Amino acid sequence: MDWVFRNSGLVLELTGQHIVFSLVPVLIGLVLAVPLGWLANRTALGRSLTLNVAGFLYTLPSLALFVFLPPIIGTRILDPLNVIVALSVYVLALLVRTVADALDAVPETVVNSATAMGFRPGWRFLTVELPMAVPVILAGLRVAAVSSISLVTVGSVIGFGGLGKMFTEGFQREIPQQTISGIVLVLLLAVVVDGLLLLAGRTLTPWDRSARSRRTAGRAV
């Protein structure tokens, strides 16, 4: 811990970088996943197409993506944009499936009764289907955010910023405290972000809490 305080300037900078590199892609991925997930659910073909492409992207090794992306999108090799784009693709691949499944799980009776009351499709999506999909989407978002935070450290290996830099530098300079502090900080960041998302979810979906307690109460009987 001592090491952290002595180098607080560097630590803060790296933490800031890490947050930007990992969470901006989560945001981008989410924003793209919602319309794509909706589109995927429109037709059976759309669904299998979207899910297969997403599945393929998700299996690409992140390191490879960091290396091969620059020539494809025309950036320089150590441009931070590479990390952002690569991770956005990951998050998107992960979330598109979650969003599609979450929307698919919205009970048809509810969607139908919304239609029968005179909701037009767009408004119905925004005010009925999407809100009802929030609990499932949020669970996916937590996985995506934590994965993204850990994947940013991979980027550090090939020279991008972020807390992963503390591992590599700690090794090279043989300062174990630096390596260990790096690991602890990444874990801490993951736990905090996960906790915040959980909290946000609870606040956004008070109705789901009552459903949950009812489900568990039902099970206990």
**Site membership for other proteins, residue 105 (CB under 8 A):** no
**Site membership for other proteins, residue 74 (CB under 8 A):** no
CA-wise closest residue to 40 among 93, 117, 119, 84 = 93
**Kindly report the CA angle at 152 between 148 and 153, in degrees rounded to 5?**
125
CA 47 to chain centre: 21
**Kindly report the CA angle at 159 between 157 and 161, in degrees rounded to 5?**
95
Single out the residue of 56, 68, 171, 207 in contact with other proteins (rule: CB under 8 A). Answer: 207
Q: Which two tokens stand for residue 123?
A: 């408004």
Q: Which stretch binds other proteins (CB under 8 A): 63-71, 86-94, 119-127, 181-189?
A: 119-127
- Ordered alpha helix ranges (H), the chain: 2-6, 8-40, 44-59, 62-73, 80-104, 108-117, 121-124, 130-157, 164-172, 176-204, 206-220
Single out the residue of 120, 174, 216, 221 in contact with other proteins (rule: CB under 8 A). Answer: 120
**Site membership for other proteins, residue 113 (CB under 8 A):** yes
Q: How far is the C-alpha of 13 from the C-alpha of 88, rounded, in Å?
A: 22
Single out the residue of 8, 43, 112, 172 in contact with other proteins (rule: CB under 8 A). Answer: 112
Residue whose token pair is 């969470």: 23
Least distance in angstroms from the C-beta of 126 to other proteins: 12
For other proteins, the closer CB: 64 or 105: 105
Q: How far is CA 138 from CA 72, 115, 159, in A?
A: 31, 26, 32
For other proteins, the closer CB: 117 or 220: 117
For other proteins, the closer CB: 113 or 172: 113
Single out the residue of 57, 67, 119, 143 in contact with other proteins (rule: CB under 8 A). Answer: 119
Q: Which stretch binds other proteins (CB under 8 A): 19-27, 77-85, 117-125, 151-159?
A: 117-125
Q: How far is the C-alpha of 124 from the C-alpha of 156, rounded, in Å?
A: 43
- Give the per-residue contact string, 167-206, with other proteins (x = CB under 8 A; - = no): --------------------------------------xx
For other proteins, the closer CB: 27 or 211: 211
Q: Which chain residues interact with other proteins by CB under 8 A?
A: 109-110, 112-120, 123, 128, 131-132, 134, 205-208, 210-211, 214
